[in-house]
Amino acid sequence: MKNIYLAVLLILASFALAVSCAPPELKPATSINYTPAVPISGFTTFTSEGLFSISYPQDWSLANSLLEELREVGIDLIEGIDPDIDLSDVQLLFMAGKETLEGYYPNVMISVTPRSIGYYNLDEICEAEERWAKEYLQGYEVNSQVRTVINGLEADITIDEDYEPEFGTWRYITVTIVKDDFVWFVGCSSESEDFPEYEDTFDKIVRSIRILN
């Protein structure tokens, strides 16, 4: 499952910011106000009641049962890189992928964390994420970065990559969205050489996220 461990390392590392002393609690919305995603041929949609919905290919499998294990492994990996990091308030909410003998590859994950003190808008958060990645991740570089709107919310879509001796070079497409007191992160990943094969699918997945409040 080493490919999953690397994917979760990157999604947790995206929240390498110090959180406030009294972080808000993520609660399901009691009234839903969102525009459903346009149905995608060959995709299925998962809805977490009152929190979010996302679409992914029908031949992928839901893997939410692994979230706690992956969170613990991911935190251990990141703390080995940056011992001062605090990820205690990061939540992994969702994972799906194409099930293989080595795990779920390719895959998509969703994580959420309270906004940090001093990081209040999307620009500040994305700049902080990039600074951390450049300092702590080998061979890190941004391939592309665009701003768009997803379900009425400003979103940053970044394609980046890094190199890890144990895993090789991996590439990621990620969406970062700030909503009220929280930062949402949706990421798909694959080995760099496979990324062109999956890029269109990944783009559809991350753009399908809907925050249900």
User: pLDDT tens digit string along 103-149?
Assistant: 888 999 998 888 776 667 888 888 888 888 888 888 889 999 999 99
For residue range 154-167, what is the model confidence (pLDDT) as tens digits?
Answer: 999 999 998 877 77
Per-residue pLDDT at 22 exceeds 60 = no
Quote the pLDDT of residue 212.
Answer: 85
Q: What is the pLDDT of residue 8?
A: 60
Distance CA 78, CA 46 (A): 29
pLDDT of 9 reads 54
pLDDT digits (tens, 9 = 90+) for 36-91: 787 899 999 999 988 999 999 999 999 998 888 777 776 666 666 666 666 667 78
What's the CATH fold of domain 2-211? Answer: Protein Transport Mog1p; Chain A (3.40.1000)
Nearest to 170 by CA among 191, 199, 141, 139: 191
For residues 25 and 97, the model is more confident at 97
> Which candidate, 181, 172, 188, 187, places its Cα nearest to that of 213?
181
**Separation CA 180–CA 155 (nearest Å):** 13
What's residue 135's pLDDT?
85
Please give the full DSSP string across 75-116, using - where no structure is assigned.
Answer: HHHHHHH-TT---TT-EEEEEEEEEETTEEEEEEEEEEEEPP
Return the ∠ at Cα 198 (arms to 196 and 201), rounded to 5°: 130
Structure tokens at 189: 């990943």
- Residue 10: is its pLDDT beyond 60? no
Q: How far apart are CA 153 and CA 48, in angstroms?
A: 19
Q: Sketch the domain layout of the chain as residue ranges.
A: 2-211
Model-level pTM? 0.86
